[in-house]
Amino acid sequence: MTVSTPASTSTSDRHDEAPTADGVAPRPRIALTLGDPAGVGPELAARLLSDPANLEAAAIFVLADRAELDAAAAVIDVTIPLSDEPRPGFATLLDDGSAPAEPIPPRQVSKEAGERALHQLRRAIDLANAGEVGAIVFTPLNKTSLHLGGMTEEDELRWFAKELRSEGVTSEINIIPGLWTARVTSHIGIRDVADRITTQGVVDAVRLLDELLRDSGVERPRLGVCGLNPHNGENGIFGREEIDVIAPGVAEAAAGGVDVVGPFPSDTIFVGARDRYDGIVTMYHDQGQIAIKLLGFDGGVTVQGGLPVVIATPAHGTAFDIAGTGVASVTSSQRALDVAIAVAGRRAVRRP
């Protein structure tokens, strides 16, 4: 059960974000949503909010109704300290009284679940657009429910870009401890991948990954780039994308100051990768996803890269089979929050 002073719907008190004398902003402002209400998201959010270290590290604004947060806390039997204004040791609940009258069906895909998740994400985006928060963290979503609930974009990254009115370069960034990946193409069919890989696309993905790693605290990221074809194209025998498209992109990014090398065969670049690289740029979705999930599925994080606000989420799904049992691991959600705090904090210090 949660304990709270009366919740506020304002985030106007910004005293906790003022930089310290050494230029560090220790408490970035984070909007947190409960993800898909039919899955494990609410209980994972409750675990994050019951950890005193998280509430000291960031000013966390929870986008949920009080009844939803109480129910999530009850699943895992924790107390969530709440305050009506941001202060260390407490979360701030932004309850807008919008919870549906009828319970959302648990442990299944539904329009109602998708609509509820999108409603709270839009509220988080409104805070970001107003400059009230520097990052958004959401617990797992279900793509089918989101589309039933009204999302028409191919994935959350495109939806966020539209809602944030962002037209720049974006890429989904996937993270496991010690290694980050970006990709040149994402949620498209395999038959379309080669045609969508361009030299500029390689440059953009490399620069975006370099920037995010620097924002996370890596002073000079070491990056590697995958080839597309078997054996890296075998000097053009199996395809010329490495020669004509990818290598020129790597060279251009390196000439611009990025510590990047490649392309290398995708079946070997990940062997011992964390000893050689901080990040790897892949050419398509599964080229990187299969590798990093084999290297460390538990603890994976996804960042919606290239957007004007940091947006992070655990890399796993809604886990309908264990929702409501209280056994879901918080590791990935915790790491998503940690990444958001690190990046948002450094960006806040640089903000004019």
Boundaries of every domain in the chain: 1-169+300-352, 178-298
Residue 95: per-residue pLDDT: 97
| C-alpha to C-alpha distances, 252 to 100, 222, 280, 349, nearest whole angstrom | 52, 16, 16, 29
| 157-174: average pLDDT | 91
What pLDDT, on a 0 to 100 scale, did the predictor assign at position 21? 44
Q: Which residues pair with 4 in a beta bridge?
A: 82
Contact 189, 200 (CB under 8 A): no
Q: What is the pLDDT of residue 2?
A: 55
Q: Using CB atoms within 10 A of its CB, is residue 88 exposed (0-12), middle (13-18) or buried (19+)?
A: middle
Q: What angle do CA 152, 158, 163 make, to 5 degrees?
A: 85
**Which comes out higher in pLDDT, residue 351 or 220?**
220
- Local confidence band at 7 (pLDDT 50, 70, 90 cut-offs): very low
Q: List CB contacts of 107: < 8 A, sequence separation 6 or more.
A: 38, 39, 320, 321, 323, 324
What is the Cα–Cα distance from 174 to 279, expressed in whole angstroms?
10
In the predicted structure, residue 306 carries a pLDDT above the cut 70: yes
Quickly name the fold that domain 178-298 has: Isopropylmalate Dehydrogenase (3.40.718)
Question: Which pLDDT value is given to residue 350?
Answer: 67
Nearest to 323 by CA among 61, 35, 54: 35
Mean pLDDT of 273-301: 92
The full length of the chain comes to: 352
**What is the per-residue pLDDT for 298?**
78
Measured in whole angstroms, the distance separating CA 85 from the mean position of its chain's CA atoms is: 26
Helix (H) or strand (E) holding 248: helix 247-255
- Name the CATH code of domain 1-169+300-352 (choices 3.40.50.620, 3.40.718.10, 2.30.30.100, 3.40.50.970): 3.40.718.10
Q: Report pLDDT digits (tens) over 187-236.
A: 889 999 999 999 999 999 999 999 999 999 999 999 999 999 999 999 99
What pLDDT digit, counting tens, does each position of 96-117 carry? 999 999 999 999 999 999 999 9
Q: What integer is the mean pLDDT of 118-142?
A: 97
- Which of 94, 138, 91 lies closest to 118 in space, CA to CA? 138
Q: How far apart are CA 130 and CA 124, in angstroms?
A: 10
End-to-end CA distance of the chain: 41
Mean of all residue pLDDT scores within the chain: 92
